[in-house]
Amino acid sequence: MTRGASAPLFPAVGVDGLVPLDDVRAAAARVQGMIVRTPLLASPEVSERVGHEVRFKCESLQRSGSFKFRGALNFVLQLPHELLAKGVITYSSGNHGQAVALAARLRGVHAVVVMPTTAPEIKVSGAEQLGAEVVLEGTTSIERKIRAEAIAQADGLAMVQPFDHPWIIAGQGTMGIEIYEDWPEVEAVLVPIGGGGMMSGVCAALRRLRPDVRLVGVEPFGAASMRAALNADGPVTLPGTHTIADGLAPVRVGDLTFKHVRQLADDVVTVDDGMIREAVRFLLLRAKLVVECSGAAALAALLSGVVGSPGRTAVIISGGNVDLAVKT
């Protein structure tokens, strides 16, 4: 592998510039048996509270503790052996890093993960326990991206993009296929948004499988980079972010993820940290689910009434790597 070979592979998307449903289906077949087909759990208490049926898609029970393993595994499984010779690298607030570490371990290659200096200890130690080398850099997604790209160039590592790549989007879209297969009558799906890979994938699957479904993304008020991009008709870089939902705090969404959300999603709404805290407490005390703040954002939108009453609703609970230092 030559120096500079770590430039990201970017396979063709569909004629509309979006990831095709066939690619999501191929990803589902590729990762089958290696990921957990997470349950879609009925929630009678939330259903009674909001006046319509609600089910939780529990990605907090996914391997590595979050939905990120779907996309990371789909990506790493497609890298040719010659690009894997010296290992892989990524940049992450934590969950994607753990997912890449696990995917790399399954392929028997070395992984380097660049995380922020503010990364929760559970996510740093989680990546290390999976065999990854962790490098701490800065506090923003741009700072760790620059550091990761420099290491990749110097050491000949293959870059595993965190969200703005067709393979990542297709992998995350496998959730959408599962939701449709397990609950074809679903009328709305609420999806947390960080960089937008999960929202893009779920939209890429469900908009084709169930065209009339309502697809709503949810961001923290203090890190609403997708909402800002939609308002500006293109990705913008936020001057900073401030939220307890560390996994939903990139300062800029991807070009490809923005395109998917703009063309396929119905809306993107925001919730404040108080709403997120309430959702975390509800999930722990009433649903007996351990969920991190980022993973509870979609439920926060439903419980607070931000999304109204959208009918039979699947709420994606995206991660369970709880930072015990965060007071909820």
Residues tagged active-site: 68, 318
CA separation for the pair 258, 88 (Å, rounded): 26
CA separation for the pair 202, 191 (Å, rounded): 8
Smallest Cα–Cα separation from 46: which of 318, 315, 320, 306?
A: 315
DSSP string, 285-305: HTS-----TGGGHHHHHHHTT
Phi, psi torsion values for 115, nearest 5 degrees: -120, 160
Do the beta carbons of residue 268 and residue 227 sit within 8 Å?
yes
Would you report the helix, strand and coil content of the chain in percent, each value rounded to 5?
45, 15, 40
Strand partners, 314: 55, 189
